[in-house]
Amino acid sequence: MNRVDTIFNTLRASGQKALMPFITAGDPDLATTAAMLPALEKAGASIVELGFPFSDPIADGPVIQASMTHALAQGVRPGAIFDMAKAHRQRLNIALVAMVSYTLVHRIGVREFARRAAAVGIDGLIVPDLTLEESAPMREAARNEGLVCSFLIAPNTPIERAKEIAQASSGFIYLLARSGITGERSNLPPDLGERVEALRGVTDLPIAVGFGIAQREQVQSVVEVADAAIVGSAIMRRVADLREEGAAKIVRGVAEFVSDLAEGLRQKL
Amino acid sequence: MSTPTATPDLTHLPDPRGRFGEFGGVYVPETLVHAVTQVAEEYARAQKDPGFKRQLDALLRDYVGRETPLYFAKRLTEQAGGARIYLKREDLAHTGAHKINNALGQALLTVRMGKRRIIAETGAGQHGVATATAAAVFGLECDVFMGTEDMRRQKPNVTRMRLLGARVVPVESGSRTLKDATNAAMRDWMETSGGTHYIIGSVVGPHPFPMIVRDFQSVIGRECRAQCLEQIGRLPDHVIACVGGGSNAAGIFYPFVSDPVEQVKLTGVEAGGRSPNTGDHAASISFGKPGVLHGSMSYVLQDNDGQTAPVHSISAGLDYPGVGPEHAYWHDTGRVSYVSVTDKQAIEAFQTLTRCEGIIPALESSHAVAYALELSAKMPTDKAIVINLSGRGDKDLDEAVRLIEAAKE
């Protein structure tokens, strides 16, 4: 069974929820990314989204965009990210999900990308700019390689379409807490609970919620209703703040922050 | 009518999924799917509504000043020494370029959708000015995203947009040019699409934009066709237009794509910049590979891993690493040829047209003029070439003078 499925099955059996940190691969460099993975596991992450840097990530806000620009300036490319994953997969229990813009996948080839991802121990794919209508080849390639493939559902996605997206997804579905781009926000939209409930009516897949989640209290609110909370910009902002301080401080700073977020999984509101 | 070879039908595209062969489509985050679907549905309704066409035609006639003339450039022809050169005078359209044709059409769609705010990206500033103008006509709120490098290069247009009541939002990310302005506009739209329409300025972006912009710009080619029949007594032998994203070219080419290539040749002229080296030009079809940029599959200037490559052109409107998906398709089917001319050739053509005809062209359009001069010289004098003179050069004066002086040194 795919590692993502196993993780959600295990958590569900014991009534627990998941924390899914996003980190940009290669910010500040791939060695630090590699060091962050076990630290994130220890801090309480179940699944890590590994962002493949792209020059024009239209769904991402300023923090992740800047992070990707930095990684690209270091020369970080998909081949090197695969190598890094391969070298460190063995000592990790967390699942790794690649978050990658479609044009990077297309350049390598959909089947070849899935093959290489699976070969290095990546467990799933999120291609945020791949619409349901264009997704069939990607889904088939993921299925053939035993990868899960999660699609995004937006606040303005009608429920009938959300159902189709959920049917096309495997592993989990990625529910956007809000419209717009990635980035930290101070509060969660009030209708999030209703939207998660509506989705429960059309899918049994775990529901992971992301976009704008930056604090322990928000993680708490999200996992009250959903199965997982995704945190990205808030982590990468800490990486940016600590960039000059060196790898050890970055890893420690991120681990402390994620530990604090993980408290939100355990505490009840 | 029968043709010996199976020519693909080029006029009934895109297909319902927005495909031109393998190009086009919708590659956007789910947040935007609702918005682009809404635009496609409204456009389909508008096409069936005779009132919409009447309203747009009246605006194009009474406000834009259409039809724009087809002008025989006698002295330019003499200078070239070959085929007769005609200019389709989009520079005489209100606001000084073809961009207004699309901006007004999409502003009408905005009003039909009940939205009160429009946003746009701009490179040369012509689309920004056209959108700001349309906003003034319809009383809409307007934000225009523009790279700070382009704000420097096209200062007069920044002033015009502000006078028209638009906010010009400076974009500092990336190369601070058209690509980055487009990213910024798409990001804004993801948060605001409930009450905002994004007027994309070229035949790029997710379906239905490449189709809608082409359709609104096709008035150029329809007029041109009729004017050629009237003035020359037949269709032109060759139609030439500059290609950045490719809206003026799509507009003039589309009504000719069903004509046999032996009868009417169509050539798109890309920005060859300083050299064919990566980063020195913006010739996406000439040097690019298939990829996704700004929501559709087309030729993109990129490195081996799919990262968008840096681009350069003296012309802000052509300084873009992608191209409309329909151009990619026309290229692959062989219906349209794509060539590139350098910064230097464009600047020379800019001066030649200005001195010969008293018409100061936009630096974008100067690329088409440069290629036409070269081509005319190789063709007999009884042949006819049409250049789509997509815009006037007032916005470029400071930059052009700077480049001319620099070339002298």
The C-alpha of B280 sits at a distance from chain A's nearest C-alpha, in angstroms, of 18
Q: What does the alpha-carbon distance between residue B270 and residue B289 come to, in Å, rounded to a whole number?
A: 15
Q: What does the alpha-carbon distance between residue B244 and residue B248 come to, in Å, rounded to a whole number?
A: 9
Nearest by CB to A157, from B27, B34, B294: name it. B34
Strand partners, A98: A50, A125
- Report the interhelical angle of B99-112 vs B30-48 (nearest 10°): 100
Looking at this predicted complex, what is its ipTM?
0.95
B253 within 8 A of B241, measured Cβ to Cβ = yes
Pairing of strands A47-51, A18-24: parallel
Pairing of strands B141-147, A18-24: unpaired
Residues whose CB falls within 8 Å of the CB of residue B4, separated by 6 or more in sequence, listed in order? none
Contacts of A69 in chain B (CB under 8 A): 173-174
Residue A268 has pLDDT above 80, yes or no: no
Output b/e per residue, A144-167; b: 16+ Cβ within 10 A: ebebbbbbbbbbbbeeebbbebbe
The C-alpha of A14 sits at a distance from chain B's nearest C-alpha, in angstroms, of 32
Q: Is A56 in contact with B304 (Cβ distance < 8 A)? A: no
Q: Is A49 a catalytic residue?
A: yes
Q: How confident is the model at residue A61 (pLDDT cuts 50, 70, 90)?
A: confident
Q: What does the alpha-carbon distance between residue A219 and residue A188 come to, in Å, rounded to a whole number?
A: 10
Q: How confident is the model at residue A57 (pLDDT cuts 50, 70, 90)?
A: very high
3-class DSSP state for residue B169? strand
Contacts of A65 in chain B (CB under 8 A): 173
- Alpha helices, H only, B209-268: 209-231, 247-253
Q: Give me the pLDDT at residue A269, please.
A: 62
Nearest by CB to A58, from B30, B183, B191: name it. B183
B224 within 8 A of B67, measured Cβ to Cβ = no
Q: Is B33 in contact with A179 (Cβ distance < 8 A)? A: no
Pairing of strands B117-122, A207-210: unpaired
B134 within 8 A of B94, measured Cβ to Cβ = no
Contacts of B27 in chain A (CB under 8 A): 102-103, 129-131, 134
Q: What does the alpha-carbon distance between residue A128 and residue B186 come to, in Å, rounded to a whole number?
A: 14
pTM score: 0.96
Nearest by CB to A181, from B17, B33, B187: name it. B187
Q: Is A129 in contact with B289 (Cβ distance < 8 A)? A: no
Out of A27, A60, A145, A227, which one is annotated catalytic? A60
Q: Is B30 in contact with A158 (Cβ distance < 8 A)? A: no
Report CA-CA distances (Å) from B122 to A57, A97, B103, B330, B378.
Answer: 19, 36, 12, 25, 36
Q: Which residue numbers of B have CB closer than 8 Å to A's CBs?
A: 17, 25-31, 33-35, 173-174, 179, 183, 186-187, 190-191, 193-194, 289-295, 297, 300, 302, 304-308
Q: Give me the pLDDT at residue B200, please.
A: 98
- At B193, which amino acid appears? S
- At B366, which amino acid appears? S
pLDDT tens track of chain B, all 409 residues? 344 444 567 778 999 999 999 999 999 999 999 999 999 999 999 999 999 999 999 999 999 999 999 999 999 999 999 999 999 999 999 999 999 999 999 999 999 999 999 999 999 899 999 999 999 999 999 999 999 999 998 899 999 999 999 999 999 988 888 999 999 999 999 999 999 999 999 999 999 999 999 999 999 999 999 999 999 999 999 999 999 999 999 999 999 999 999 999 999 999 999 999 999 999 999 999 999 999 999 999 999 999 999 999 999 999 999 999 999 999 999 999 999 999 999 999 999 999 999 999 999 999 999 999 999 999 999 999 999 999 999 999 998 999 999 888 7
Q: What does the alpha-carbon distance between residue B319 and residue B181 come to, in Å, rounded to a whole number?
A: 12
B202 within 8 A of B324, measured Cβ to Cβ = yes
From the list B249, B267, B152, the residue with the least C-alpha distance to B204 is: B249
CB neighbourhood size of A75 (10 A): 10
Q: What is the pLDDT of residues A63-105, one digit of tens each?
A: 999 999 999 999 999 999 999 999 999 999 999 999 999 999 9
Q: Is B30 in contact with A165 (Cβ distance < 8 A)? A: yes
Q: Is A181 in contact with B25 (Cβ distance < 8 A)? A: no
Q: Give me the pLDDT at residue B391, please.
A: 97
Q: What is the pLDDT of residues A228-240, one digit of tens each?
A: 999 999 999 999 9
Chain mean position to CA B104: 15
* Interface test mutation site (partner A, options B19, B31, B121, max chain A beta carbons within 10 A): B31
